[in-house]
Amino acid sequence: MLLRYRIAAHRLLGLRHLLLILAAIVVAALPASGDNTMKAPDFTLSNLSGKNVTLSEVLREGPVLLDFWATWCKPCIKAFPGLQELQEKYGPRGLRVVTVSVDSPKSQSRVGPFINSKKYTFEVLLDTEGRVAKRYHIMAIPRTLLISPSGEIVYATMGNRPTGHKELEKAILDILPSEADGGAGPAKKG
């Protein structure tokens, strides 16, 4: 009996070490600039209408909240009403919510009907081969990144966000044009 526990503990420690090593490799692979921010890799993907959408072009209009998800991911689906709320609340001030479905070619056919049935209005892009997810080092979903108009990743979170999205909303407000400026400049920090 004691031997079983030792074997189980050894396997658990081995798995823990492996995960730590993998995490270190991923962090080391992420490009960073001198001010601890990362540049978001540019990409072009098709949306649900078949139109190509390029991140750098969307960023010309304002910040982007980029969310990686899949139809089979329950936490991803739970996060969608919050993403829609952020789109409705901050879209008029320039925020664009862009979601990237990492569904495989087999499950891709479910993406459009799901989005349409819920009447979500944010942009949905298809990354069926996982090329963009790989460039962003996406290891688990949902994964959400806030990208400033200059292309810097200023906030990142993994998993379903708690109700209210307080930290995410603060990060959004920090890079959105203030309402007092009529959308002409960055938010005032107070």
Instruction: Indicate whether 38 and 23 sit together in one domain.
Output: no
Instruction: Indicate whether 100 and 16 sit together in one domain.
Output: no
Task: pLDDT tens for the chain, 190 residues: list them.
Answer: 555 555 555 565 555 554 444 443 343 334 333 346 799 999 999 999 999 999 999 999 999 999 999 999 999 999 999 999 999 999 999 999 999 999 999 999 999 999 999 999 999 999 999 999 999 999 999 999 999 999 999 999 988 765 557 889 999 999 998 776 554 444 433 3
For the domain that residue 46 is a member of, what is the CATH number? 3.40.30.10
This prediction's pTM: 0.76
Instruction: Indicate whether 92 and 13 sit together in one domain.
Output: no
Mention every residue, 6+ apart, whose C-beta is less than 8 A from residue 161.
79, 82, 144, 168
Q: 10 is in which domain, residue-wise?
A: 1-30
Mention every residue, 6+ apart, whose C-beta is less than 8 A from residue 62.
93, 94, 95, 96, 149, 176, 177
Instruction: Indicate whether 6 and 43 sit together in one domain.
Output: no
Rounded Cα distance between 94 and 185, Å, is 11
- In a domain, residue 18? The reply is yes
Instruction: Indicate whether 104 and 68 sit together in one domain.
Output: yes
Number of domains comprising the chain: 2
- In a domain, residue 158? The reply is yes
